[in-house]
Amino acid sequence: MKEERRRRSDARKKALKKKWKGCVISGSHDHLEGHHIYKWAVFKEKEGFDEIVWLTRENHRELEELIRARENDVLRNKPELYLKAWEDFKRLKENERRQADEAYRMGRKAEATKLVC
């Protein structure tokens, strides 16, 4: 955890140093937003995947729309991913229900309630 925090801090410092230059597309300094070149939700800030650029709000919105369209193109060719996610989700919920039932039978009603909710 400490190592991840250090890298995040380094990436943030590096990005903030670039902010004074403005939007990398237009050069504008109005309404700047940071954008992770590699999607943060997927890659976090792994070494080499932590680059952040500054874009105006409008350019950032347009780029995100383009990325979403490209992601959808990839996913259209992999419909089985959705079915797999659905099957995994159902299995997870069935296991939670079994654990809750077991906790209830063992007299651990608070734990059972937590598992169900």
- Domain ranges (residues) in the chain: 2-76, 80-116
Whether pTM > 0.75 for this model: the answer is no
Question: What's the pLDDT at 33?
Answer: 93
The pLDDT of 5-13, averaged and rounded, is 61
pLDDT in tens, 10-62: 767 777 777 888 999 999 999 999 998 888 888 876 777 778 899 999 999 99
Top-confidence residue, 50 or 76? 76
CA distance 32 to 66: 19
DSSP notation for 32-43: EEEEESS-HHHH
Question: What's the pLDDT at 41?
Answer: 81
Continuous H helices in the chain? 2-19, 40-43, 57-76, 80-105, 109-116
Distant-in-sequence, close-in-space partners of 111: CB < 8 Å, separation ≥ 6: 100, 103
CA distance 91 to 79: 19
CA distance 111 to 117: 10
Question: What's the pLDDT at 81?
Answer: 93
Provide the pairing of β-strand 52-56 with 32-36.
Answer: antiparallel
